[in-house]
Amino acid sequence: MCKRQGEAMNPRHQPVFFAMALLAWAAWGVACAPEASARRVVASYDEFTSRLIVLSADQNGDGRIDQWTYLNDNRPLRGEADLDADGRIDRWEYFGAQADLVKVGTSSRNDGVEDTWTWVVPLNGEGRVDIALKRDRQIDRREFFQGPTLVRAELDTNADGKSDRWDRYEGGVLREARFDTSLSGARANWRILYDGQGRFVATEADLERDGTFVPATAGGVGVVRGGRQ
Ligand SMILES: [Ca+2]
Ligand SMILES: [Ca+2]
Ligand SMILES: [Ca+2]
């Protein structure tokens, strides 16, 4: 009697592309021939080196390949999957040197365009999600989490690779947005404060960028407009 352990896994929560698991899976298919047609794994080899380069699998058994694992020396590098069988990739996986799953890419519109990358392991104690808001693979928003809770975000509004806006959240509510209006100072010179319900409280300025913000006044705005940013 053959049990397929893979069926008990939720593919959204498991590293579904791990090469060795797929290889074992393929071996299982040989041992359980009557059910092997429901799920099949196809190995593709480099024409010149004969190295295994891609493992393709039909996870849901509908006869169409829906998972691809790309390998180098039998080590998974990245994977792709079409979990909802609509013909478009909706999950991308990236592996580290130890074949560990590092981050998972997804499509916010489920249209085959990868625009969000979730880091699997916390970085410096924070969970992190990178987003390409323009969906051009250029990350312009980074979100940081404590557990499941969004605590801060960094934005690059002019796509120069440097953050120019920093948001702070409490309980998932935006409490402070800091801006570098020069887009080149690397530190904020303005900030907007919000209350616990996300309502506007005040605008403050730190034109010297020394970390001390003071309430913005009409005169202060005039200084900024005069170029002392
Ligand atoms: Ca399939
Ligand atoms: Ca899909
Ligand atoms: Ca920037």
Measured from the alpha carbon of residue 40, the closest ligand is 1
User: How large is the average pLDDT for residues 108-120?
Assistant: 98
State how far the Cα of 85 lies from the Cα of 62, in Å rounded to an integer: 9
State how far the Cα of 108 lies from the Cα of 113, in Å rounded to an integer: 8
Q: Are residues 139 and 188 in the same domain?
A: yes
Q: Are residues 96 and 202 in the same domain?
A: no
Residues 6+ apart with CB under 8 A from 122: 128
Q: Are residues 129 and 157 in the same domain?
A: yes
Residues measured by CB to lie within 5 Å of ligand 2, the ion: 82, 84, 86, 88, 90
CA dihedral (112, 8, 27, 120) positive or negative: positive
State how far the Cα of 33 lies from the Cα of 180, in Å rounded to an integer: 63
End-of-domain residue from the set 95, 114, 133: 114
End-of-domain residue from the set 82, 114, 146: 114
What are the distances in angstroms from CA 26 to CA 55, 118, 189, 198, 200?
10, 29, 58, 53, 58
Residues measured by CB to lie within 5 Å of ligand 1, the ion: 58, 60, 62, 64, 66
Q: Are residues 104 and 131 in the same domain?
A: no
Q: Considering the entire predicted model, what is its pTM?
A: 0.77
Question: Confidence class of residue 186 from pLDDT cuts 50, 70 and 90?
Answer: confident
Q: Are residues 31 and 62 in the same domain?
A: yes
User: How large is the average pLDDT for residues 197-217?
Assistant: 93
Domain that holds residue 214: 122-229
Q: Are residues 189 and 156 in the same domain?
A: yes
Q: What is the mean pLDDT of the chain?
A: 83
pLDDT digits (tens, 9 = 90+) for 160-175: 999 999 999 999 999 9
Please tell me the distance between residue 12's alpha carbon and the centre of ligand 2 in angstroms.
13
Q: Are residues 33 and 101 in the same domain?
A: yes
Please tell me the distance between residue 42's alpha carbon and the centre of ligand 1 in angstroms.
12
Strand partners, 163: none
Per the structure, the count of domains in the chain is: 2
pLDDT digits (tens, 9 = 90+) for 45-67: 999 999 999 999 999 999 999 99
Measured from the alpha carbon of residue 63, the closest ligand is 1
Q: Are residues 191 and 221 in the same domain?
A: yes
Give the pLDDT confidence score for residue 222 in this predicted structure: 40
